[in-house]
């Protein structure tokens, strides 16, 4: 079905909900005027609708394949990628001195969501490149920056990240890939990596791999890991791709979804690479790329949620089945008239809107931190990142699943396209750090400031709710109360000296935060709409969210503060009984 880019929704959220004006008011992002924002959203939206959306089904039916050591991509993907690269959509936030637009991460976030809605399999390629650009900009030498960044920003070259090995998944410190120094300042990289997204393609001149490896004599664990840039083809003196490097795609995985995105096993056999950052400091450099990608992956989930929502709504408005409360007994009504279908569609819409606002607020914090150097903004960005990643991807999975349900039996039939959204998005809750790891990060590392960033957000939520009491008391009061319970749960977490007590409820803790933030942003949208006197659909959606979905925060936060006793009194024998 056709995809419609929600450009108007982005404009409303930027102006009225996440306070993008403060980003545009900084010296660094002064070029992000209202006209610029509108032009980017309009043009990127048109490209997603006209060029990328038709590729969604092509990638699923005609997967990427490995032929004689070369990855052959799905029909139309080369043309789709060319539209992304030539439009400058790879490098919206990349530094202007190397050819990027130098615009805020908020705009990258909006465009990435639209591309994910249109064709997630293809969007994953520029997302990897964006993350590598960020890592190189912050950690690489001037020589590497001058040679690689312009090519990656233009889209002529693509980027990947290589972390995982068969024995080293979430435990990255267990990796075995080796790096031996050469006499010319380069290194020889040997080892095998798995689950490498877009490890190769047939539409860019070069593919540049960021590879984690261990130098001779390095200590065990993550503190002994270094990061290396290893290109598919070694640049010659002119900077053009020269001879092939000593690396290869061993195989492509047969996956549940994302068939158009090649996920490879990679082998490095004394491949030539260059150190990025300092020796034994590779994880710090790689985390720059990973945090960029975590925001991006959360947005992938939101993008699929938007597409699945549009898909289900169109079907529900067209599908006529039985009499309904709105059609009368004598007529056959559209299934959208049925209360339970209406509930599912409203849930899909409200959840997608909440997740989108959280992601945009996360991007605003990143932009403000970069523009001002303020530690408070940096702490907010760090705090929101695991929530964006985990809740955004969970929303994608849940909304796509509801989309199948709305379709009924036809949702289980592949030709309708509803099932593909669910198959494609499912992995987003796993890669770039599983959602459980994101939750433990939030409950652990992100509270190491004594809860300063958390409490600043809670104060902001309650202040907005207090200010809205006169206009929207029925919406403002539940949000204020929810934030108070969130404060108590956060205080409980901070009081736990045994981190496992926090980790036992880390996921409901994160989801409780997402629920309350969702109510906060829905209230902001309703309040802005109330003040402008516009149509009122956001106020109605906010009422649905705050009445039906926000109350889940109570149960979630009860679970979050339950500790470990009930988990560890259960034995493996109990679970197999």
271 and 140, same domain (yes or no): no
pLDDT tens-place string over residues 40-94: 999 999 999 999 999 999 999 999 999 998 999 999 999 999 999 999 999 999 9
24 and 135, same domain (yes or no): yes
136 and 232, same domain (yes or no): no
30 and 141, same domain (yes or no): yes
Q: What is the pLDDT of residue 330?
A: 52
Angle of CA points 195, 199, 200, to nearest 5° = 150
**Domain end marker among 229, 264, 284:** 284
474 and 504, same domain (yes or no): yes
pLDDT surpassing 80 at residue 521: yes
pLDDT surpassing 80 at residue 1: no
In a domain, 91, yes or no: yes
List, in sequence order, every residue forming a beta bridge with 350; answer none if it has no partner: none
Q: Please give the full DSSP string across 426-460, using - where no structure is assigned.
A: GGGGTSSS-HHHHHHHHHTGGGTTTTHHHHHHHHH
pLDDT tens-place string over residues 457-500: 999 999 999 999 999 999 999 999 999 999 999 999 999 999 99
126 and 46, same domain (yes or no): yes
**Domain end marker among 149, 178, 201:** 149
60 and 96, same domain (yes or no): yes
Q: Which residues are catalytic?
A: 432
Q: Residue 246 burial by CB count (10 A; 0-12/13-18/19+): exposed, middle or buried?
A: middle
In a domain, 115, yes or no: yes
User: Is the pTM above the cut of 0.75?
Assistant: yes
pLDDT surpassing 80 at residue 324: no
| H/E stretch holding 295 | helix 282-318
In a domain, 67, yes or no: yes
Angle of CA points 331, 332, 337, to nearest 5° = 110
d(CA 521, CA 537): 14
496 and 543, same domain (yes or no): yes
Helix (H, G, I), strand (E, B) or coil at 162: strand
183 and 52, same domain (yes or no): no
82 and 212, same domain (yes or no): no
pLDDT tens-place string over residues 361-380: 999 999 999 999 999 999 99
* C-beta contacts of 76-82 below 8 A and 24+ residues apart: 77/121, 77/122, 77/201, 77/203, 77/260, 78/202, 78/203, 79/51, 80/51, 80/52, 80/55, 80/119, 80/122, 81/122, 81/125, 81/126, 81/155, 81/201, 81/203, 81/204, 82/155, 82/203
Residue ranges making up the domain that contains 75: 7-149
Range 188-199 average pLDDT: 97
In a domain, 380, yes or no: no
In a domain, 461, yes or no: yes
Q: Per the structure block, which two tokens stand in for 573?
A: 């024998």
Total count of domains within the chain = 3
In a domain, 535, yes or no: yes
131 and 224, same domain (yes or no): no
> What confidence tier does 524 reach under pLDDT thresholds 50, 70, 90?
very high
Alpha helices for 17-172 (secondary structure H) = 21-24, 34-47, 55-61, 77-86, 105-139, 142-154
d(CA 284, CA 95): 21
In a domain, 260, yes or no: yes
Instruction: Share the mean pLDDT of the chain.
Output: 95
Helix (H, G, I), strand (E, B) or coil at 521: helix
459 and 529, same domain (yes or no): yes
Q: Residue 376 burial by CB count (10 A; 0-12/13-18/19+): exposed, middle or buried?
A: middle
Q: What is the pLDDT of residue 325?
A: 78
3-state secondary structure labels for all residues of 183-248: CCCCEEEEEEEEEEECCCCCCCCEEEEEEEEECCCCCCCHHHEEEEEEECEEECCCCCEEEECCEE
Contacts of 139 (CB under 8 A, 6+ apart): 227, 276, 277, 284, 285, 288
Q: How many Cα atoms are found within 13 Å in the side-chain-facing hemisphere of 185?
A: 4
**Domain end marker among 115, 149, 183:** 149
Give the position of tokens 């309904």: 324
Contacts of 248 (CB under 8 A, 6+ apart): 69, 266, 267, 269
d(CA 109, CA 363): 7
In a domain, 392, yes or no: no
CATH of the domain at 135: 1.10.540.10
């Amino acid at each position: 079905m056709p995809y419609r880019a929600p450009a108007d929704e982005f404009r409303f959220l930027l102006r009225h909900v996440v306070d993008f004006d403060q980003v545009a008011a900084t010296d660094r992002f002064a070029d992000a005027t209202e006209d610029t924002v509108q032009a980017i959203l309009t043009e990127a939206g048109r490209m997603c609708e006209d060029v990328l959306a038709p590729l969604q089904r092509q990638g699923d039916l005609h997967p990427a394949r490995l032929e004689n050591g070369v990855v052959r991509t799905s029909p139309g993907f080369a043309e789709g990628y060319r539209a992304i690269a030539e439009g400058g959509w790879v490098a919206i936030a990349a530094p202007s001195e190397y050819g990027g637009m130098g615009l805020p991460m908020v705009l990258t976030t909006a465009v990435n969501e639209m591309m994910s809605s249109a064709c997630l399999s293809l969007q994953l390629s520029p997302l990897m490149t964006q993350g590598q650009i960020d890592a190189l900009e912050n950690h690489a030498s001037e020589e590497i920056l001058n040679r690689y960044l312009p090519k990656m920003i233009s889209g002529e070259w693509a980027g990947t990240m290589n972390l995982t090995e068969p024995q080293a998944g979430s435990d990255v410190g267990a990796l075995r890939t080796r790096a031996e120094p050469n006499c010319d300042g380069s290194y020889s990289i040997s080892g095998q990596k798995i689950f490498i997204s877009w490890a190769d393609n047939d539409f860019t001149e070069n593919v540049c791999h960021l590879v984690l490896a261990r130098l001779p004599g390095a200590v065990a664990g993550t503190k002994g890991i270094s990061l290396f840039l290893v290109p598919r083809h070694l640049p010659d003196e002119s900077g053009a791709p020269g001879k092939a490097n000593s690396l290869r795609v061993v195989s492509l995985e047969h996956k549940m979804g994302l068939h158009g995105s090649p996920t490879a096993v990679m082998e490095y056999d004394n491949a030539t690479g260059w150190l990025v950052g300092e020796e034994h400091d590779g994880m710090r450099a790689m985390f720059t790329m990973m945090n960029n990608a975590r925001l991006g992956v959360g947005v992938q989930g939101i993008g699929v949620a938007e597409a699945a929502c549009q898909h289900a709504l169109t079907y529900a408005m067209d599908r006529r089945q039985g009499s309904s409360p709105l059609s009368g007994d004598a007529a056959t009504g559209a299934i959208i008239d049925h209360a339970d279908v209406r509930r599912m569609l409203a849930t899909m819409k409200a959840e997608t809107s909440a997740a989108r606002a959280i992601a945009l607020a996360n991007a605003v914090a990143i932009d403000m931190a970069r523009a001002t150097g303020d530690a408070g903004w940096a702490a907010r960005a760090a705090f929101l990142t695991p929530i964006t990643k985990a809740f955004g991807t969970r929303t994608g999975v849940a909304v796509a699943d509801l989309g199948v349900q709305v379709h009924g039996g036809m949702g289980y039939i592949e030709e309708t396209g509803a099932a593909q959204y669910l198959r494609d998005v499912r992995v987003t809750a796993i890669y770039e750090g599983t959602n459980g790891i994101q939750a433990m990060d939030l409950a652990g590392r992100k509270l190491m400031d004594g809860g300063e960033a958390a409490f600043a957000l809670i104060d902001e939520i309650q202040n907005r709710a207090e200010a809205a009491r006169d206009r929207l008391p029925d919406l403002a009061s539940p949000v204020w109360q929810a934030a108070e319970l969130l404060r108590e749960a956060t205080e409980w977490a901070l009081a736990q000296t045994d981190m496992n007590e926090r980790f036992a409820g880390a996921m409901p803790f994160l989801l409780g935060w997402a629920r309350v933030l969702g109510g906060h942003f829905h209230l902001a949208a309703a309040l802005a709409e109330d003040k402008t006197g516009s149509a009122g659909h956001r106020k109605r959606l906010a009422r649905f969210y705050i009445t039906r979905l926000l109350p889940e925060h109570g149960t979630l936060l009860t679970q979050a503060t339950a500790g470990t006793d009930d988990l560890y009194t259960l034995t493996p024998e109990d679970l197999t009984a």
